[in-house]
């Protein structure tokens, strides 16, 4: 399944333009892309050369403004983006010791995310590109998360992608930087959402993932035996995950799952919840590894920062699991600039009429894959 089939609908139609573009950039000249990310609660901008070399990577987090509400408030998020986008872009240029004259193209996230937030970065990016006469590329945020690990590693395709963030939990066969076959996804909540909701209920703070990860180190994962969702092992849900049942069990029925000899402490809750959430992901991922024979896993998204998830995957010595460095797991502009480089290098660019899209229907499961693996 081509994830971005509608994204670059406005390819350049003048062959001369394509030719001159290739002459300039594909003849082994370098290409510096300014990438903007504003899909949720981080205003970010980076300058990256050839999809690899990061000159600057500025991430202005709005966490303090949303913390008191224990979650992202969309209206506050878009207002902060509007306030911060110009200083953040200026800072990215300053840290790279560059002006717009040194930049070859501009990219911005246009999907998925909060509509108001997306519109700020997208409109800013298109305007900046138009005003400075540079090509513009709109980037799918999830392609960005997947690309984060590529910024510092040369990773051959195909491989299995594990995209775990505040909005998504996806296992995909990745054939190219924009070519994902979705094998499994969540039936309800995303894994990051489960971390955030559990933390919110127990008053641990926001965002929940990193706090739970920390507290879990002081707890015992065996204290509670929370249920691992049992979706059918053979059919269409073979690689799917579900976190809503786990979230409900941890929030409303924890006592029912407390094992003898253990105390109901927040540390034990965190350790046991985290263990179950991570094992839910790895159980489906390991199935996909067995079925496809692919031995490389590339993780991305905020939850890819989780220490237990990293440890569980490191236990499988027969596979190679590549994680982005911690600071590239969360939202950032470098991953957007990195993806954009590959679109540009093959001659794509987005039209000035490119719009933002809060959801991405392409993340639906591709059942054809199950047939290909002989599971249906
Ligand atoms: P999105 O792209 O959907 O906005 P991000 O990629 O920014 O999501 O990731 C944010 C999510 O990652 C949040 O749900 C947060 O709780 C989670 N997260 C961040 N660090 C960790 C961690 N160490 N363990 C588990 N979850 C984490
Ligand atoms: Mg993200």
Q: Residues 251-284: pLDDT tens digits?
A: 999 999 999 999 999 999 999 999 999 999 999 9
Separation of 197 CA from ligand 2 center, angstroms? 17
What one-character DSSP code corresponds to residue 227? P
| Average predicted confidence (pLDDT) for the chain | 90
Q: Give pLDDT tens digits for 69-99.
A: 888 889 999 999 999 999 999 999 999 999 9
* Ion ligand 2 nearby residues (CB, 5 A): 165, 331
Query: How do beta strands 169-176 and 32-37 pair?
Result: unpaired
User: Does 157-323 match 15-149+330-363 at the fold level?
Assistant: yes
Residues 247 and 196: their CA atoms lie apart, in Å, by: 10
What pLDDT score does 196 carry? 94
Residues 67 and 89: their CA atoms lie apart, in Å, by: 25
What pLDDT score does 231 carry? 73
Residue 19 in this model has a pLDDT that exceeds 70: no
What pLDDT score does 22 carry? 60
Separation of 35 CA from ligand 1 center, angstroms? 20
Q: Which residue among 302, 309, 326, 334 has the greatest number of ligand 1 atoms within 8 angstroms of its CB, and so is best to mutate?
A: 302
What one-character DSSP code corresponds to residue 101? G
Separation of 367 CA from ligand 2 center, angstroms? 26
Selection from 149, 148, 137, 165 nearest residue 40 by Cα: 165
In ligand 1, the atom with minimum distance to the C-alpha of 141 is 2
Burial of 163 (C-beta count, 10 Å sphere; 0-12/13-18/19+): buried
Separation of 26 CA from ligand 1 center, angstroms? 36
Residues 120 and 36: their CA atoms lie apart, in Å, by: 10
Query: How do beta strands 32-37 and 105-111 pair?
Result: parallel
Question: Please, which pLDDT band fits residue 17 given cuts at 50, 70 and 90?
Answer: low
Selection from 226, 229, 267 nearest residue 250 by Cα: 226
Question: Under CATH, what is the fold of the domain 15-149+330-363?
Answer: Nucleotidyltransferase; domain 5 (3.30.420)
Residue 314 in this model has a pLDDT that exceeds 80: yes
Q: Give pLDDT tens digits for 43-75.
A: 999 999 999 999 999 999 988 889 888 888 899
CB 49 within 8 A of CB 31: yes
Residue 27 in this model has a pLDDT that exceeds 50: yes
Question: Please, which pLDDT band fits residue 16 given cuts at 50, 70 and 90?
Answer: low
Residues 22 and 115: their CA atoms lie apart, in Å, by: 34
Residues 314 and 312: their CA atoms lie apart, in Å, by: 5
Instruction: Report the C-alpha dihedral over residues 359, 280, 171, 77, rounded to 10 degrees.
Output: 30
What pLDDT score does 1 carry? 41
**Which SS3 state, helix, strand or coil, does residue 12 take?**
coil
* Residue ranges per structural domain of the chain: 15-149+330-363, 157-323
What pLDDT score does 9 carry? 45
Question: Under CATH, what is the fold of the domain 157-323?
Answer: Nucleotidyltransferase; domain 5 (3.30.420)
Which residues are CB-neighbours of 235 under 8 A, at least 6 positions away?
A: 370, 375, 376
C-alpha distances in Å from residue 141, one per residue of 39, 301, 333, 367:
8, 10, 10, 23
Residue 180 in this model has a pLDDT that exceeds 60: yes
Range from 25-29, 222-226, 361-365 that averages highest in pLDDT: 222-226
H or E element in which residue 199 lies: helix 191-201
Provide the token pair at 181.
Answer: 């076959």
Provide the token pair at 347.
Answer: 């001659």
Q: Is the pTM of this model over 0.85?
A: yes
């Amino acid at each position: 399944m081509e994830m971005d089939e509608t994204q670059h609908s406005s390819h350049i139609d003048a062959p001369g333009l394509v030719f001159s573009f290739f002459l300039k950039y594909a003849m082994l000249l370098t290409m510096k892309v300014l990438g903007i990310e504003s899909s949720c609660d981080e205003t970010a901008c980076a300058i990256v050369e050839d999809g690899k070399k990061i000159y600057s990577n500025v991430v202005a987090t709005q966490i303090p403004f949303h913390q008191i509400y224990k979650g992202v408030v969309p209206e506050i998020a878009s207002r902060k983006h509007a306030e911060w986008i110009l200083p953040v872009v200026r800072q990215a240029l300053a840290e790279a010791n560059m002006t717009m004259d040194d930049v070859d193209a501009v990219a911005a996230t246009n999907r998925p995310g909060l509509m108001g937030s997306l519109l700020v970065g997208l409109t800013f990016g298109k305007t900046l590109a138009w005003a400075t006469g540079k090509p513009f590329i709109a980037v799918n945020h999830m392609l960005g998360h997947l690309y984060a690990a590529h910024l510092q590693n040369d990773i051959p395709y195909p491989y299995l992608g594990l995209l775990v963030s505040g909005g998504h939990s996806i296992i995909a066969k990745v054939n190219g930087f924009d070519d994902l076959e979705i094998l499994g996804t969540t039936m309800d909540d995303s894994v990051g959402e489960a971390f955030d909701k559990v933390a919110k209920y127990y008053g641990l703070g926001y965002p929940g993932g990193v706090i739970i990860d920390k507290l879990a180190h002081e707890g015992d994962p065996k204290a509670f035996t929370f249920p691992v969702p049992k979706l059918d092992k053979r059919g269409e849900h073979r690689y799917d995950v579900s976190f809503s049942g786990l979230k409900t069990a941890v929030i409303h029925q924890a006592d029912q799952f407390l094992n003898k000899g253990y105390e109901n402490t927040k540390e034990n809750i965190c350790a046991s919840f985290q263990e179950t959430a991570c094992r839910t992901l790895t159980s489906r991922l390991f199935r996909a590894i067995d079925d496809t024979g692919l031995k490389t896993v590339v993780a991305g998204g905020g939850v890819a920062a989780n220490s237990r998830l990293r440890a569980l995957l490191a236990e499988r010595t027969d596979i190679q699991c590549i994680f982005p460095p911690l600071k590239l797991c969360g939202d950032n502009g470098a991953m957007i600039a990195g993806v954009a480089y590959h679109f540009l290098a093959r001659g794509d660019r987005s039209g000035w009429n490119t719009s933002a899209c809060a959801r991405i229907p392409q993340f639906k499961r591709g059942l054809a894959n199950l047939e290909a693996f002989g599971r249906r």
